[in-house]
Amino acid sequence: MARLALLSVSDKTGLVDLAKALVEEFGFDLISSGGTAKAIAAANLPVTKVSDYTGSPEILGGRVKTLHPKIHGGILARQDLAEDQQDLADNGMRPLDLVVVNLYPFEQTIAKADVTMADAIENIDIGGPAMLRAAAKNHAHLTVLCSAEQYGPYLEALRASAGQVPLAFRQECARAAFWHTASYDQAIATYLTQSISEPGTAEPDALPQQWALSGRQQATLRYGENPHQTAAWYRTGSTPTGWAGAEQIQGKELSYNNLVDLEAARRIIAEFPADRPAAAVLKHTNPCGVGMGDSLSTAYRRAYDADDVSAFGGIVVLNRAIDADTAQQLTGTFLECIVAPGCDDAAREILAKKQNLRVLVLEDLLTGPGQVVNAIAGGFLLQAPDTYRDDPATWQMVTEAQPTEAELAEMLFAWRVVKHVKSNAIVVTHQQQTLGIGAGQMNRVGSVSIALAQAGAKAQGAVLASDGFFPFDDSVRTAAAAGIRAVVQPGGSRRDDDSIKAANELGLIMAMTGVRHFLH
């Protein structure tokens, strides 16, 4: 008797070629349902509808097609067990040798801007996951395929083994099927968690009681943070988004550290709307220079000049498409990566002269992950990303000296940058350009000293931002001695009055934002 294959797919990619090879090269009989059967029949290939095979019509508007004993009996039967074979014979069933299933496009559906809950629910596949799980469980006796990418390797395996697919291949396909159904169920659970408030949830943004993370490998990376660490890049979702969906115009393959730095770059540039050109240069996830200007090339030059020593081998992020003038400047030093929302043809031609320079276009630099995950021994931590949009109108001006409109804008610029510097963080800026950055020190006084030393004489009339409050007035006095005009900090120390008193004594402006932006 001819071998039997069940084909029931939402994504018809490669379907006809697979069906043609199964029938004409290997003599399979095909059973199929709905649109899959129509596509196969339209290619003039013999196919039996599931409803004809089972003797039961599709019901409930197609919701019930393959949920039938003749289907699942054929999938789950153990071909080396006499009792199972007798059950098949007694019930007019045939064992299946191949199950090809992919699922309703749930993630594509919920990605639509106008999707309704009813649309999402209707795109939850029931029969497909049941068949995939059953076939994967019984992989000792049949093969399950859940992706068009597997069709070619499956046919090659048939050809190479006289029609008998090796167990190792079937095991790998079973593993893929279980991951497929697991990620599918996770997408559904996540959507429902985000769309329906959990009973007893006090706040709409409260984190769920259960959370799972899964991904599909985008690339194997040469190594991790260091050469002795293995690493790979995974994407979430069925379609590439974020960095997985970026266009790499040129350059070497991305490394683990490149990707970590690029995400830090995306976070900081998201602070600066494209209505005014902005640029940042980063090293080891910290900004070493941030600048704004009337043109993109000016913004980049200001970011670069802020710390041209640290900029060597850095990551550059821009909030506008790269033009020829900016590209010319970008080629003037060694950089690891450049990312922008676009890159015009003239700029591409200029950048191409640096073949190893990685240049990426990510149109949406604003959208980041909905949650931040940090692995710890025995579990992981989950938090909402720090996407808080700071508004100076909510700040408390705590000193006698009050800022002008221009000074307040400068304070906001400094505050937006310090948010993305590793704690303890201090940033000194003037005229929309960073002058000094103190990052990641074990005490705030150390960060103040580093930032002011880097700014040097340029600190005269500048703004100093601190990501945490000042527990003593020493940092305020040090800042004033260096020529700082205004300080912005979250406030909240029991000794805030000491810092305010010192600022008033020294003629400084001080704002307390009421919001802290630690970055560990």
Mean pLDDT of the 361-378 span: 93
Distances from the Cα of 464 to the Cα of 412, 429, 460, angstroms: 11, 7, 11
- Cα(388)–Cα(33) distance, integer angstroms: 49
Residue predicted with more confidence, 419 or 206: 419
- Cα(458)–Cα(451) distance, integer angstroms: 11
Could you read off the pLDDT of 118-177 as tens digits, one per residue? 888 877 878 888 989 999 999 999 999 999 999 999 999 999 887 788 999 999 999 999
Could you read off the pLDDT of 232-276 as tens digits, one per residue? 999 987 678 899 999 999 999 999 999 999 999 999 999 998 899
Identify residue 171 by its one-letter amino acid code: Q
CATH fold label, 4-194: Rossmann fold (3.40.50)
Q: Cβ(33)–Cβ(49) under 8 Å? A: yes
- Cα(142)–Cα(139) distance, integer angstroms: 5
- Tokens matching residue 274: 């494209």
Catalytic (active-site) positions: 137, 284
- Tokens matching residue 302: 């200001």
Q: What single-letter DSSP state applies at residue 61?
A: G
- Cα(280)–Cα(316) distance, integer angstroms: 6
- Cα(493)–Cα(470) distance, integer angstroms: 7
- Closest C-alpha among 302, 303, 298 to residue 315: 303
- Closest C-alpha among 77, 68, 69 to residue 96: 77
pTM for this entry: 0.82
- Cα(110)–Cα(107) distance, integer angstroms: 5
Q: Cβ(364)–Cβ(266) under 8 Å? A: no
Q: Do domains 4-194 and 392-512 have the same CATH topology?
A: no
Q: Cβ(239)–Cβ(226) under 8 Å? A: no
Could you read off the pLDDT of 63-83 as tens digits, one per residue? 777 788 888 888 988 888 788
Say how many C-beta atoms besides its own lie within 10 A of residue 439's C-beta.
24
Which helix H or strand E contains 119, and what residues bound it?
A: helix 117-122
Please give the order of strands across the beta sheet that includes 486-489. Answer: 396-397, 509-512, 486-489, 463-466, 426-429, 434-438
| Cis peptide bond N-terminal to 424, omega within 30 | yes
- Cα(318)–Cα(433) distance, integer angstroms: 14
pLDDT band at 202 (very low <50, low <70, confident <90, very high): very low
Each domain of the chain, given as residue ranges in start order, spans 4-194, 240-361, 392-512
Q: Give the SS3 label for residue 382.
A: strand
- Cα(436)–Cα(440) distance, integer angstroms: 14
CATH fold label, 240-361: Cytidine Deaminase; domain 2 (3.40.140)
Q: What is the CATH number of domain 392-512?
A: 3.40.140.20
